[in-house]
Structure 1
Amino acid sequence: MPHGSTGLPPCPRCGRQAAPGSGVFCPWCGRYLAAMEWVATPPETTRPRPAAVPAQRYTGPPRYRSVPRWGLPVGPWRAPSDAGDGPVPPLERARWLAGQLIPVLWVTVVVSAVAAVAEVWRYGLLLASRSDALSPVAVGWSDAMVWFGGWSSIAAVIAAGVLTISWSLWAYRAAADRSGTRPWRSRRRVVAGWLVPGWNLVAPGSLLAETEHAALELPVHRRPSPSRGLLVWWALWGASVLLAALALVWRFRSGTQALADGVVLHAWAGLLAAVTAYRTIRLVRWITALLEPDPRSPRELLVRPAAGGVTAASPTAKPPAPATTAPEAPTG
């Protein structure tokens, strides 16, 4: 409240005494005269003040007489499973593996072609070295290309081989599910058919022929008739396996002519590997499309006249007159 009850204090600026009732400002200099003093008073309360709790010393983690029933489960975190979760269908696995396999096969085509070109260049340098001295730069680039093409093609072939075996296994099971049959080849038999020497010349082709036959939903009692694209791939596959084995065995021969012939063999092996990888891309796309054809697009079904009616022809047959009907896979 303001000081005094009868008047204001003298002005601290000019020192003059203001008359009573002149207000809180000095009439001569205008300085604020009413000095205020504010006093904070806590409200009245009947609640006692809480006593200060002394800081306690850490005595370690809590101890239990028995193992607690609560807590996080043992093991890494896992996403919560829905009630409808179950094993992935073979068709989904085949489609996913096909999406991973096709880019690797394209890499195999490129690096195998590079390896073939490098071997051809090396053979040209061998021919030129019979009469003239070779350039160190040309020889260095040739060796670098041969080294890169050889090792990169080996790595690409191994990666493509693993994915191809996995894709063929799940495509075989998906085709069996589509045709309503039970696959008679086990997982071990499929893998052995790709890897066992000698057997891998015929087993992969027969496996894919059965897959194509089941994907086309042809009669079960009929013998599988491979399509033309599958037959071409089968021939290329067998030739590439034989040529790769011959080139590997040829490396143990010695002599100048044997080395030159080995360069030629490696060039043909690289070229054939590139062509086989390209045909494998087309075959994987073809069989994967057969497993789940697009029902929205019309397709052609080739038919041929037979005694007592009209029967559907195999994918490789060429009837005199085609007819358009509902869903059936196109020829490869």
Structure 2
Amino acid sequence: MPPSAPSPGVARLGPPCPRCGRRAPAEGGPFCPYCGRYLAALRWVAEPPPSAAPAAPARVRVRYTGPPRYRTLPRWGFPPRRWEPPEPATPTPDPLHGARSTFGTLVPLLWATVAVALLAAGAEVWRYVLLLASRDNALSAGEVAASDALVGSAGTVSPILTVAAGVLLILWSVRASRAAADRAGVRPSRSPRMVVLGWLVPGLNLTVPGSVLSEIEHCALGLPVDQRPRPSRLLLVWWALWAAGVVLSAVVLLWSLRTGVQARADGVVLHAVLDLLAAVTAGVTARLVTRLTRLLAPARPRRRELLLSVRPPAAARAARA
């Protein structure tokens, strides 16, 4: 008889009561005969038998025979991908590149301004000659109409070109000042806003533009940063022409408010002088901007290799001898 089987005449006992802890007979019912608490049913947990568990794989030690070898090209592998470097979050534009790009448009526009300003000055001179001739003789309608058309067309195109060239000149000076400061390893003495205001505000535009261009020239030449900038002769000539043009523009603007025949005749002369001065200033500006841009970004010398002669080696010459 197995040891777990109960002996005859002995009652089997159930689980202990959770309340009183006594063990009641198994056939006594679902309630404890001592305290009357409901006896909870047993909880069965199913577990697989030990024979059903998978056997641990046996570790087989394989001798290393070198890297794998393939008789044909394997068709498996990773998909081809091209690595690209990450782009910077906020790329900073190169001021020197911006100055050179502005220079490419500014210089042709300045020379166009020179041509139109000379044409406007010639038209004003022709009008003044007609005014002098009208004191003694009557003028033909064709000459007066041609003079008025030439003055009107030149007087309309010239200010437009002057304003466009002025905007590009201010933009070039802002970028060139930053490029010159970067080349010298210093911080620009004026912010872009102050440079723009120095070109536009009356009174300041007599001194600030010359100072900005002097600093650009000083840094572009590689002179010591603690040394006071000394403008070149070309820059001094441009500075004088620029200041004279600003002052003469104010005089012509105030003179146009006067009335009378003599005031109008004098106004024609002043307009002719102003157009001629504008043409000279635009030409000098084109030369100055070209010089400063070439100082900031000098052109690379082009080298050409020329074959002058072909000489045999020394061993071959000795064998022939």
Shorter-chain TM-score bucket reads: 0.5 to 0.7
Which among 141, 163, 168 is matched to residue 168 of structure 2?
163
Match of 2:145 in 1: 140
CA distance change for structure 1 residues 233 and 183 in 2, over 3 Å: closer, same or farther? same
By how many angstroms is 1:295 displaced? 5.2
Correspondence for 2:126 among 113, 116, 121 = 121
- 1:226 aligns to 2:239 (yes or no): no
Give 1:182 deviation, angstroms. Answer: 0.7
The 2-side partners of 1:296 and 1:260 are apart by 55
Whether 2:109 is the aligned partner of 1:98: answer no
Q: Which runs of 4+ in 1 moved over 4 A?
A: none
Q: Deviation string for 1:85-111 (max 9, x for gaps)?
A: 932210000000000111111111111
Give the distance between the partners of 2:229 and 2:216, measured in 1 at CA: 9
Match of 1:83 in 2: 87
Q: Distance in 1 between matches of 2:195 and 2:85?
A: 32
CA shift digits 1:119-155 (9 cap, x unpaired): 0000000000000000100000100111111111110
Q: What is aligned with 1:195? A: 200
- Normalised by the length of structure 2, the TM-score is 0.66
Q: 1:285 aligns with which of 290, 293, 296?
A: 290
1:197-251 per-residue CA deviation (whole Å, 9 max, x = no partner) reads 0110111001100110011110111100001110011011111111111111111
CA distance in 2, matches of 1:108, 1:249: 24
Instruction: Measure, in 2, the Cα distance between the counterparts of 1:82 and 1:192.
Output: 39
Deviation at 1:292, TM superposition (A): 1.5
- In structure 1, the residue matched to 2:188 is 183
In the alignment, which residue of structure 2 is the partner of 1:149?
A: 154
Corresponding position of 1:263: 268
Letter in 2 for 1:206: S
Q: In 2, Cα distance between the equivalents of 1:101 and 1:87?
A: 23
**1:111 and 2:116 matched:** yes
Q: Unaligned regions of 5+ residues in structure 2, if any?
A: 1-83, 303-321
Unmatched runs of 5 consecutive residues or more in structure 1? 1-79, 298-332
For 2:299, the equivalent position in structure 1 comes to 294
After the TM superposition, which residues 5-84 of structure 1 pair with which residues of structure 2 at under 5 Å, given as runs? 83=87
Rounded Cα–Cα distance in structure 1 between residues aligned with 2:85 and 2:201: 40
Cα displacement (A) at 1:187 = 1.1
Q: Percent identity?
A: 57
Aligned-residue offset at 1:81: 10
- Determine which structure has greater relative contact order: mean sequence separation of CA pairs < 8 Å that are 6+ residues apart, divided by chain length: 2
In 2, the alpha carbon distance for the partners of 1:293 and 1:218 equals 16
Please, which of 236, 253, 256 is the counterpart of residue 241 of structure 2? 236
Counterpart amino acid of residue 159 in structure 1: A
Instruction: Answer with 1 or 2: which has the greater Rg.
Output: 2
Q: Report Cα offsets for 1:264-312 as digits up to 9, x if no partner.
A: 0000000000000000000110000010223538xxxxxxxxxxxxxxx
CA distance in 2, matches of 1:247, 1:81: 59
Q: What residue identity is the alignment partner of 1:258?
A: A
